[in-house]
C-alpha cells in the first residue's frame, strides 16, 4: 500500500501547509525555532539555519528597545514603531518562505517535486524557477543565494519603500541612531563567548542587504566556525534577550534586555496585496549566485563589548547631566 502522504490531494496539501505556516508564524520565537527545526530535518537547506540565526538577531533587536539603553534615548512611540517594523518584516519573510520549505519537505517525503504548487502560495516566479533547479542539481549554495535574493526583495516594497515605514522609520533620526549604535550588525555567537558576524551600511538598498546575507552565509558555514554556531543553536534557547549569548562571555554580565514574550504581545498580521517582485526583471548570469567578497573583520567580540560600553557611557552621561531629551 502506498504511503498516505503520497496519496494526499493537492488541495489537502495546500491547506495543511497554510495551517502549519500560520501556526509557526506567531512571533519571533516560533519563527526562529521553526527555521532551526527545519534545518535539523533538512540540513541540505542551509538557508534555514541562516534564517534561524538572523531571526535570533531580530529578537535581540526587538528586546533592546525595552532594555537598559534605548528607553533612555527613544520615546515610547518611536520604540513601538521600530518594534512593529521588525515584526512586520519578519512575519512577511516567514509568510513567503515557509510554504516553500514545506513544499520541499513534502517533495522529499513523496519522492517527487511539488514545486508546481508554489504559485498557489504566490511565491515569486524567480523562486518557482529556482526550486526545480535545486531539486535536480542539489546545489545548496545556489539555493541559499536565491532565497537571500528573494527574501530581501519580498520586503522591499511593503516595508522598506512603503511611504509610512519610509518616513516614520527608515528616514527617521531614531533609525539612524539605532543603526549607528551597532544594531545593523548581525552576530553569530559561540558557547565559548566569541562573536562573529557582519554589518550593512545603506540598509534601505536591496543590493546591500543581499550582499550582507551572502557574507553572513559564508561566515556561518565556514568549516571551522560552523560546528561552534551549531552548538550554540542546539544548547541555547532563544528568548529574545541578549543574555542568550552574553551569558557565555568570560566576564560575567547581568541580563540587560528582557525576554521577548514578557515584553511584547502577539501581533496579528494580514496580507491583502501581493506582487511578484521578479516579474519582468532581467537577472545577470551566474554572477548573481556568487558568494560575497571578504569585507572587514568577522571576529567581533572585542568590537561588540567596546560598543556596548560606549552605549552605557552615553546613558550614564545623559543621567549625570540630567539631559531631558529623547528622539
Predicted local confidence at residue 75, as pLDDT: 87
Cell of 160: 522598506
Closest to 210 (Cα-Cα) out of 57, 47, 99, 83: 47
Cα–Cα dist 323/125, whole Å: 53
| Percentage with pLDDT > 90 across the chain | 67
CA distances from 249 to 160, 191, 192, 271 (A): 35, 8, 7, 41
pTM of the predicted model, to two decimals?
0.92
Q: What is the pLDDT of residues 281-324, one digit of tens each?
A: 777 666 788 778 778 899 999 999 988 888 888 888 777 776 56
- Residue 238 confidence class, pLDDT cut points 50, 70, 90: very high
Cell of 112: 517527487
**What average pLDDT is seen over the chain?**
89
Cell of 95: 509568510
Residue matched to cell numbers 521577548: 260
- On whether the CB atoms of residues 177 and 73 are closer than 8 A, the answer is yes
| pLDDT over 80 (residue 182) | no
Cell of 177: 541612531
| pLDDT over 90 (residue 278) | yes
Cα–Cα dist 162/259, whole Å: 30
Q: Which string of DSSP letters, residue by residue, matches 195-218?
A: EEEEE-SSTT-HHHHHHHHHHHHH
Predicted local confidence at residue 112, as pLDDT: 96
| Radius of gyration over every alpha carbon of the chain, rounded to an integer in angstroms | 20
Average pLDDT over residues 136-156: 96
Amino acid at each position: 500500500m502506498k504511503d498516505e502522504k503520497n496519496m494526499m490531494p493537492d488541495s489537502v496539501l495546500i491547506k495543511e501547509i497554510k495551517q502549519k505556516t500560520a501556526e509557526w508564524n506567531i512571533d519571533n520565537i516560533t519563527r526562529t525555532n521553526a527555521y532551526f527545526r527545519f534545518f535539523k530535518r533538512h540540513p541540505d537547506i542551509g538557508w534555514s539555519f541562516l534564517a534561524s540565526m538572523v531571526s535570533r538577531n531580530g529578537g535581540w533587536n526587538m528586546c533592546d528597545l525595552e532594555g537598559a539603553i534605548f528607553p533612555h534615548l527613544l520615546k515610547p512611540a518611536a520604540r513601538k514603531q521600530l518594534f512593529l517594523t521588525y515584526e512586520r518584516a519578519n512575519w512577511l519573510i516567514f509568510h513567503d518562505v515557509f510554504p516553500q520549505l514545506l513544499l520541499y519537505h513534502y517533495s522529499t517525503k513523496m519522492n517527487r517535486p511539488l514545486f508546481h504548487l508554489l504559485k498557489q502560495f504566490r511565491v515569486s516566479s524567480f523562486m518557482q524557477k529556482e526550486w526545480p533547479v535545486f531539486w535536480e542539481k542539489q546545489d545548496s549554495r545556489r539555493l541559499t543565494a536565491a532565497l537571500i535574493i528573494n527574501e530581501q526583495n519580498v520586503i522591499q516594497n511593503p516595508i522598506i519603500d512603503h511611504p509610512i515605514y519610509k518616513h516614520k522609520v527608515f528616514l527617521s533620526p531614531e533609525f539612524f541612531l539605532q543603526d549607528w549604535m551597532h544594531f545593523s550588525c548581525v552576530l553569530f555567537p559561540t558557547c565559548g563567548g566569541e562573536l562573529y558576524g557582519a554589518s550593512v551600511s545603506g540598509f534601505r538598498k536591496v543590493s546591500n542587504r543581499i550582499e550582507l546575507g551572502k557574507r553572513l552565509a559564508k561566515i556561518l558555514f565556514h568549516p571551522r566556525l560552523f560546528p561552534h554556531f551549531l552548538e550554540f543553536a542546539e544548547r541555547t534557547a532563544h528568548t529574545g534577550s541578549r543574555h542568550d549569548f552574553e551569558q557565555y562571555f568570560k566576564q560575567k554580565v547581568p541580563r540587560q534586555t528582557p525576554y521577548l514574550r514578557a515584553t511584547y504581545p502577539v501581533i496579528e498580521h494580514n496580507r491583502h496585496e501581493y506582487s511578484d517582485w521578479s516579474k519582468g526583471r532581467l537577472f545577470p548570469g551566474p554572477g548573481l549566485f556568487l558568494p560575497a567578497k571578504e569585507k572587514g573583520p568577522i571576529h567581533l567580540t572585542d568590537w561588540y563589548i567596546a560598543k556596548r560600553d560606549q552605549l552605557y557611557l552615553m546613558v550614564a552621561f545623559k543621567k549625570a547631566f540630567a539631559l531631558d531629551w529623547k528622539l
